[in-house]
Structure 1
């Protein structure tokens, strides 16, 4: 692989440093090594790659090793400043501005270069803050979903890593305890600390300097959530994550830490054994899978998307839908026809009224799973849906499979059936002609404004996190 322009620039600076240190002009050193001074100038300016024989000649004349000339370290502060400025002016962020780069000359002072570099650093910082437009965020999320679909939502390396960490902490079977999670943290050099003053913009905060992971109070409802948050915080370290460079990187990291936490809470070996036995008994059920590992219904449903296709050959779909019918989380590799916009994004789209994911909100009994067969333009699907409520409102969790695979699931005997013709708007979006004729032009509803329409996309290296709030929090606790 040919060296980059920055590598050639560093090499040129190191050659020039040796030449000047020994008091040679370009022509004098050129004469001693057998090249014209003009050719040597091109090499020192990073415009030409020297042959190894020429480097050996320069090293011999200046009394250094070839390895010293090839070092990636700038020879002095001035060279470091010039190289950093060259790198900044070759970045895509700067080139997009259409501004002529500053020409570095001998007469330019170090302070001048520092000032120009300060502007470039601020430009880069602002670019990192504005991580993505809403459209870019949707596209990044869609690309990630499609990549995971191509792998059946299965990440074997993270599965193996989780099993290794669990084994090291002594976890054998059953629900993962808070104590075991604490042991896993200790083995990574972290202490779990539960505090009531976490920054509002952060679910947890990791103090890398002092080896602490701060979490919400242990007394809050939902032990699964606390275990999961701690595992996610550890996953950043285990997976070698760096501060995200763009919104796509941020989303990929979030997916990986969620995946790692799920692997720990529902380990692959035990989970697959459970699912395979349930399939053999023709009694697969999200609620049984959930209860066996002490997790939420949503976590169990999502874990099925990781394991069922790879280990049992069953394609499936998963939907989390809010009370208004909007999809907030989705996965499918069974060709369920889900609504999407022109970018291919599904999240935020309104699901068909005929889908159980939406009609389940009308059920009186909300404590059990509901089942339904749905005929669609892509075939017939069976599904199981559970509804719930949070402070943000109602939601439903749906896991479903193509008709032929319903035979492995509990609830397959349901007689409930619906027909969906979406995305044809005549299915459930367009009013019936007689109703439209009766009320057309005679109604004026006052629309509810969705405030997220006016909310900017979260900014910062960690989108939505208030750095001031986080650093103030760390200062308070580091002093304690």
Structure 2
């Protein structure tokens, strides 16, 4: 077998195209025509061509029928290794043309016809690789964070955003303090801290780069006085979760993100116990009254925390694919999760964080309402289908932001707010949707409008050297030295 070109990924697993190329190679090796193979599997020749060109996914039964007709095994068809160098080039060309960078160039797709020389495909692939390199170099400061976020979203999608091992840990901690279910109060959280060997200390002078500080030597957790009761409970539980999970200072941004997700998840599982929350959600689904706000009210948490928790449990326990997004008032995406195939905006490298959400999505339409702090429901016709979403505006120190939970139209029947008559159409990322001013506005203002940009300095500065967290360790150590009981 011919070795594929260096750098091409032949270990990603079988795809419709790799299977199609295997079918074609085996057919040709046996001297069969497309028509003969079609007759052997009781399909038209045109359908065989569709299979060989990777334009159709096959069921296992169809794969077995093909393998029998070709005198091959199922493993032969599922081997992702390209049968030849030419196949490797064509498969890689197809892959890059499906990617976000190629889509951002708005170029017509290039068909890999027999008349297209290998050298031409190699040149195109080399140019694509160079474009990727240039994009990464230009975005070198935030690129590590973006890549880590992208990888983390893929992990979360693969497990439906559900972590059974953390749910089990939460149940053990509840049992240790005799918490039978329902909301976890601040006093219960304090009891949990005592059970884990910590005393709580509320201070005015917590270092500005921290939310809490844990002194493992003396068994102390320092918390800020400035937070209200609800926020103080969250920060305490996150600190306890990090301790229970044995988190050390992360070496890189990917580790930081993973630790944050784990600590936040465990804290949420403690505040909203799985058994209680699932029981409530199952009843609500049966009544076709699912809502994030009921989860929020039942457990006395923020809307954002309730939305996150809903997404933890929706697929595992309710069989519902969902998506979540957090968007600031200018439409910029700061948090995102999906397993319902919704298409978030993305840059040329596939990053979604920092991208601007379509103006027609509920995550932005909620800001246009007179009652912007109420719960908003909307259907949105998107390029890959219709989605129902529920959104709410929240406020923190940085300003207003919206939190949205949505699902495919077919699953909207289980939610309160499904009867909304509000419907929008979005063709993003097509520029004529909302990516450019209308011709009338452009004609009136092009060349005369001179806005002054507000620079987001955090996008321009790298994390301080020597730390993946940006925490000022000198300030933390000086703080601990001042507050230590043996100082």
Q: Please, what TM-score do these two structures have when normalized by structure 1?
A: 0.70
1:459 deviates by: 3.9
Of 456-465 and 176-185, the range deviating more from structure 2 = 456-465
Whole-angstrom CA distance in 1 between matches of 2:344 and 2:232: 32
* Residue 186 of structure 2, aligned match among 178, 181, 197: 178
1:444 aligns with 2:457: no
279 and 458 in structure 1: CA distance in 2 versus 1, 3 angstrom threshold: farther
Name the counterpart of 1:355: 361
Q: Does the alignment pair 1:378 with 2:396?
A: no
Cα deviation digits, residues 136-167 of structure 1 (max 9, x gap): 12101110111111100011000100111011
Identify the residue that residue 54 of structure 1 maps to in structure 2: none
**Distance in 2 between residues matched to 1:366 and 1:438, nearest whole Å:** 30
Structure showing greater Rg: 1
Q: Is the 8 A contact 1:138 1:343 kept in 2?
A: no
**1:394 aligns with one of 397, 400, 404:** 400
Name the counterpart of 2:245.
239
CA distance in 2, matches of 1:257, 1:458: 23
Deviations 1:257-283 (A, max 9, x none): 011101001111111111100000100
The corresponding residue for 1:115 is none
Deviation of 1:216 after TM superposition, in Å, equals 1.0
Q: Distance in 2 between matches of 1:246 and 1:447?
A: 31
Q: Aligned residues, how many? A: 347
Counterparts of 2:213 and 2:204 in 1: how far apart (Å)?
Answer: 12
Question: Taking structure 1 as reference, are residues 283 and 144 closer, same or farther at Cα in structure 2, changes over 3 Å only?
Answer: same
Partner residue of 2:197? 189
Conserved 8 A contact 1:206-1:214: yes
Question: What is aligned with 1:369?
Answer: 375
Query: Which residue of 2 is the match for residue 167 of structure 1?
Result: 175
Unaligned runs of 5+ in 2: 1-139
C-alpha RMSD of matched pairs (Å): 1.6
The alpha carbon displacement at 1:174 in A equals: 2.7
Distance in 2 (CA, whole Å) between partners of 1:389 and 1:243 is 30
Give 1:447 shift. Answer: 2.8
Contact residue 319 and residue 399 of structure 1 kept, 8 A: yes
Report the Cα distance in structure 1 between the residues aligned to 2:346 and 2:471, rounded to whole angstroms.
Answer: 29
TM-score by length of 2: 0.69
Does residue 143 in structure 1 map to residue 151 in structure 2?
A: yes
Matched, 1:157 2:165: yes
Aligned partners of 2:212 and 2:321: how far apart in 1? 34
Query: Are the structure 2 counterparts of residues 278 and 458 from structure 1 closer, same or farther at C-alpha, using a change threshold of 3 Å?
Result: farther
Per the alignment, residue 285 of structure 2 pairs with 279
Q: Give the CA deviation at 1:236.
A: 2.0
Distance in 2 between the 1:439 and 1:198 partners? 48
Match of 1:220 among 210, 227, 245: 227
Query: C-alpha displacement at 1:462, in angstroms?
Result: 5.2
Alpha-carbon contact 2:379-2:386 (below 8 Å) kept: yes
Secondary structure in structure 2 of the residue aligned to 1:426: helix
Task: Give, in whole Å, the separation in 2 of the partners of 1:160 and 1:408.
Answer: 28
User: For the Cα contact (< 8 Å) 2:251–2:468, is it kept in 1?
Assistant: no
SS at match of 1:174: coil
In 1, distance between residues paired with 2:397 and 2:251? 33
Q: Deviations over 1:365-422 (max 9, x none)?
A: 1342011000000100011111122231111111111101111000110000000000
Counterpart CA distance in 1 for 2:427 and 2:437 is: 14
For the 8 Å contact 1:202–1:465, the answer to whether it is kept is: yes
2:459 and 2:280 map into 1 onto residues whose CA distance is 44
Determine the C-alpha separation between the residues in 2 that align with 1:431 and 1:202: 41
| Structure 1 residues 429 and 264: alpha-carbon distance in aligned structure 2, compared to 1, 3 A threshold | same
1:288 matched residue in structure 2: 294
Q: Which residue of 1 aligns with 2:215?
A: 207
What corresponds to 1:475 in structure 2?
A: 481
Equivalent residues in 2 for 1:32-181, closer than 5 Å: 133-181=141-189
Contact 2:381/2:387 (<8 A) preserved: yes
Post-superposition offset of 1:133: 4.1
Indicate yes or no: 2:305 matched with 1:299: yes
